[in-house]
Structure 1
């Protein structure tokens, strides 16, 4: 895990001398391009000003003492540490904007084709595929269940104290939940609760439906008897509670990109950990929570990202919003820590804006 206290002291290096900056930048640029450590002799040859390998080694020792670079093994060149990458991204990297051609390419690829579903799932798939293709990493797009627009809900009694809640969304996807029934509930109450909810939830997300019912609690109490009102609460609580446990949709494309140029056993082990996390969707709802911490693109490098810390991966993510400007999901790119941050950050940012615009259209 990156030591935040050390990171704060590293941020004070903005005024470090040009030799340190040049050598540190060369080490990071070389790592981002090849993934390989670079030695003092190669750095000496590549610098725009004359500096002997011995002088370069002295500067590298200073950078190593600051915690910005390290030697992966004896007599090797140097690589940036995770703290060094964070410092470089925050203080030294220049993030350009996308060209008009790149923007148009993203817009074209996000447009559903004739053979592609134009629904919400289709848009998510297109976004994930597009991010994977442009980044050479794995594209990730996730949506919250609370963004699903509801079409129909029904209560089906299974036994005296158990019922099945059947929910259908506007894409005709069906999910079921088992709930306990209040003691003494008559059969007519199931129909009455279903009718009441269907009159109030159609075309709304789960979260919006719950908020609407809560805001009009007095109407519920006036129109329904006490036991039926409890059934309405139980049905909504079952569904809104379930949304906190796992995302509705997780679409990942381009996993094979992560295996390219991977030969070392430890690298394969890290990728295997990442794949296991993606398959199990372990703690992925945290991505939504992270995205809600602030607007714009967020970058998590290596162990900064608790979700995939064992895989040593970096994640670049940005939230996307619905027509009410509410965050309803997150998209981004997962890859090795040597991702091309300068190129991928504006790409993720613009893709999130395009997806927000498309799902906000009536």
Structure 2
């Protein structure tokens, strides 16, 4: 499994990583314990508690000396005077990239994920099992689940054409989820109204429950093989109308966010509440989130964004773990993952996101 680094984070952390490689095993172990304690509790850890939990005998004074070295490297910091230490964003990135022990999805979790997404073999619209995938990841991780998918995977309900005159027609596309989109296409100036109605009737007789991608394939094949009785003008309207929902650009993406309430479960102080408030604002700014998730579509495997490594979460102290998923023809059509605080259980959530993405690749048509 490959986990892509963020180029900006690598530039910021390169000096610290070089320094970390020069530290001995004892320093690595102390650094690892500090990060693991933070991920488990969200609390700083002091030298006395560290000395008691280490597998080797080491005095609190010796532990403090090592902590000073780690702090000088920018890997840990003291959130308050006389407090213990917590990892910095740089330290957390280095831990995730080099020291994290990634587990595996348990057989019980694999069964749960597969059963919930596949719906026990029942036929469902693509949006239904994508929403279920986001909700399932949200429930297992206790974070918010996110899914970004090309709109051409949406199931269609109806298409209508309206003549606007001047060689233009309005295409009204209605999805099974009730979402309506309008697009304008070019048509011959002398196109009769009957051709628009015939085009609507022809398409609607064939698209119920199908994705725009499947509908286009099916109908274009029929037209090319001349298995339907459509005049040339009507056939032009049909193909142009289907091509309008191409899924190109940000406007061609559908965003699903599930389980926001989980982000409130571990709020311990006013600063935590403020972080969650900012994160909710980030989630409402869908255009920014779509752009960020779009970066992950060009990656291989799981991608991890931590804190200010990306514009979207620079103020909310949050992390994003996502992976692209493919359709049946091995084309990347979307991204799914989870958003939560930076102290996520990375070792558990990373393989969970990876497994779910690969499973979706067998379900998306």
Question: TM-score interval w.r.t. the shorter chain?
Answer: 0.7 to 0.9
Q: Which residue of 2 aligns with 1:325?
A: 330
- Give the superposition deviation at 1:234: 7.2
User: Cα–Cα, structure 1 residues 266 and 140, in superposed 2: closer, same or farther, change >3 Å?
Assistant: same
Greater displacement, 134-143 / 323-332: 134-143
User: Cα–Cα, structure 1 residues 274 and 246, in superposed 2: closer, same or farther, change >3 Å?
Assistant: farther
- Give the superposition deviation at 1:306: 2.7
Check the 8 A contact 2:75/2:91 in 1, yes or no: yes
Check the 8 A contact 2:185/2:241 in 1, yes or no: no
Check the 8 A contact 1:124/1:251 in 2, yes or no: no
Could you tell me which runs of 5 or more consecutive residues in structure 2 were left unpaired when the two chains were aligned.
1-5
1:196-275 to 2 correspondences below 5 Å: 205=212, 209=216, 235=241, 239-240=245-246, 244-245=250-251, 247-253=253-259, 255-275=260-280
Which of 154, 177, 180 in structure 2 is aligned with 1:148?
Answer: 154
| 1:132 to 2:138 alignment | yes
| 1:123 to 2:141 alignment | no
Q: Which residue of 2 aligns with 1:83?
A: 90
Alpha-carbon separation, structure 2, partners of 1:42 and 1:36: 12
Q: Which residue of 1 aligns with 2:13?
A: 7
| 1:284 to 2:264 alignment | no
- Give the superposition deviation at 1:107: 1.8
Cα root mean square deviation, aligned: 3.6
| 1:315 to 2:329 alignment | no
1:24-173 to 2 correspondences below 5 Å: 24-112=31-119, 118-148=124-154, 153-158=159-164, 163-169=169-175, 171=176, 173=178
TM superposition score normalised by structure 1: 0.81
Could you tell me which runs of 5 or more consecutive residues in structure 1 were left unpaired when the two chains were aligned.
none
Alpha-carbon separation, structure 1, partners of 2:257 and 2:355: 19
Q: How many positions carry a matched residue from both structures? A: 348
Runs (4+) of structure 1 moved beyond 6 Å?
A: 195-202, 231-234
Helix, strand or coil: the match of 2:312?
A: helix
Alpha-carbon separation, structure 2, partners of 1:207 and 1:276: 36
User: Cα–Cα, structure 1 residues 200 and 11, in superposed 2: closer, same or farther, change >3 Å?
Assistant: farther
After superposition, give the CA deviation of every residue in 1:103-135 in whole Å (9 maximum; x if it has no partner). Answer: 222222324269x98322221222122212211
Q: Which residue of 2 aligns with 1:336?
A: 341
Alpha-carbon separation, structure 1, partners of 2:133 and 2:9: 34
Helix, strand or coil: the match of 1:335?
A: strand
Alpha-carbon separation, structure 2, partners of 1:108 and 1:152: 30
User: Cα–Cα, structure 1 residues 257 and 148, in superposed 2: closer, same or farther, change >3 Å?
Assistant: closer
